[in-house]
Structure 1
Amino acid sequence: MPDFPLRKTMLFIEDIHHDGGPAPATPRRRAAIVALVKNPFAGAYVAELQQAMDDLKPLGLIMTDRLIAAMGGIEGIDGYGKAGLVGEGGELEHTALWHVPGGYAMRERLGEARAIVPSSMKMGGVGTRIDIPLGHINAAYVRSHFDGMEVGVPDGPRADELLFALAMARGPRIHNRMGGLAAEDAVGEDGLR
């Protein structure tokens, strides 16, 4: 049973009041949470990693709950995404440990979320930043919700650490006008349309 001691978490909150053109009636909120944890696999190749995802599930739920609170509650959250960043002592595959704990925690707490949780992964040293891709929670083809949020921690990830991130959004991009499937027309049965 791998151990992922938590070193720190950080919250990022953006309220977008204007983006050129007329101001929206309601500001758009995006928020992200990151956690820096010890990477128990750093420095060695380990063939079997999948079972370690279970050890990260509690962290996924804790981060999701804090993120929902930062968003001001669950009402209206309609975008999400996740990311993983590994320090240079690990390997990119270690970031994939976040797929189940991060994605399923948000789906569990948000209820009707059917679309795949967009994800990005990369390796980097202390101070490296990563973009968390965002998409609509029920239909991947809703273009108005394609977005990203950049996050990073000044003192991580260290060589033997992993940075795990979750992000949520309320509402489409300000002044979205690229057409495609409208959020209100999404059926969401297959997570695509």
Structure 2
Amino acid sequence: MAEISVRKFVTVVDEVLHEFGPPPPESRLRGAVMAVIENPFAGRYVEDIQPFMEDLRPLGLEMANRLVKALGGSVESIEGYGKGAIVGASGELEHAALWHNPGGYAMREVLGDAKAIVPSTKKVGGLGARIDIPVTHINASYVRSHFDAMELGIPDAPRANEMVVLLVMTTGPRVHNRAGGLKASEIKGEDGLR
């Protein structure tokens, strides 16, 4: 198992009080944790890259725990999540795809019984590249009130030989959601969709 070389962690928390409407009883938090890591495949083609997913698992768990702590420390308050990765210019999109499994399963493990697939995105980008991380409800992907996204990036990352791996969590729906659809209170929890 290879050791992951982390250059830095960046944590961001947005507290959303309102969006042109009346303030809700409680503000909503949207948080992200990003890790800038060395890409062991940068600059060359490697056929068998799947073992790196296992190497990333401890980092995923550490990041998920950091994010829960940044959002108040209670897994019960987390209602939405998403993930993504930006790979530097000497890497390939498939390297970013290796984060899907360890990032998603880490959040589901830390949150306990989350049933929905963790939405994700990935890209190749240079220094300061930004990425929109999609967010859905942790137990039912069809809950429209929790469809959200965070635009994220780090000014000095990723360098050509690096990757930025990202996790996002939220403590509730969009502040003034009124687009209808399945409500969180109506989740059946059978398949991660409804």
- After TM superposition, is the score higher than 0.5? yes
1:65 is aligned to 2:53: no
- Name the structure 2 match of 1:189: 190
- Name the structure 1 match of 2:98: 97
1:46-61 to structure 2, matched below 5 A, reads 46-61=46-61
1:151 counterpart SS class: strand
- Name the structure 1 match of 2:170: 169
Tell me by how many angstroms 1:112 deviates. 1.4
- Residues 165-185 of structure 1: CA deviation (Å, up to 9, x unaligned): 000001100110111100110
1:115 is aligned to 2:90: no
- Residues 84-121 of structure 1: CA deviation (Å, up to 9, x unaligned): 00000000000011111100000001011000000000
1:174 counterpart SS class: coil
Separation (CA, whole Å) in 1 of partners of 2:20 and 2:37: 39
Separation (CA, whole Å) in 2 of partners of 1:4 and 1:95: 14
- Name the structure 2 match of 1:135: 136
Tell me by how many angstroms 1:75 deviates. 2.4
**2:159 partner amino acid:** R
Q: Are the aligned partners of 1:115 and 1:192 in contact in 2 as well (CA < 8 Å)? A: yes
Separation (CA, whole Å) in 2 of partners of 1:4 and 1:37: 7
Tell me by how many angstroms 1:2 deviates. 4.0
The ranges of structure 1 where at least 4 consecutive aligned residues each deviate by more than 3 angstroms after the TM superposition are none
Separation (CA, whole Å) in 2 of partners of 1:37 and 1:135: 26
Separation (CA, whole Å) in 1 of partners of 2:17 and 2:164: 29
Gaps of 5+ in 2: none
Q: Taking every aligned residue pair, what percent have the same amino acid on both sides?
A: 58
Q: Are the aligned partners of 1:2 and 1:40 in contact in 2 as well (CA < 8 Å)? A: no
- Name the structure 2 match of 1:16: 16
Tell me by how many angstroms 1:4 deviates. 2.8
Query: TM-score normalised to the size of structure 1?
Result: 0.98
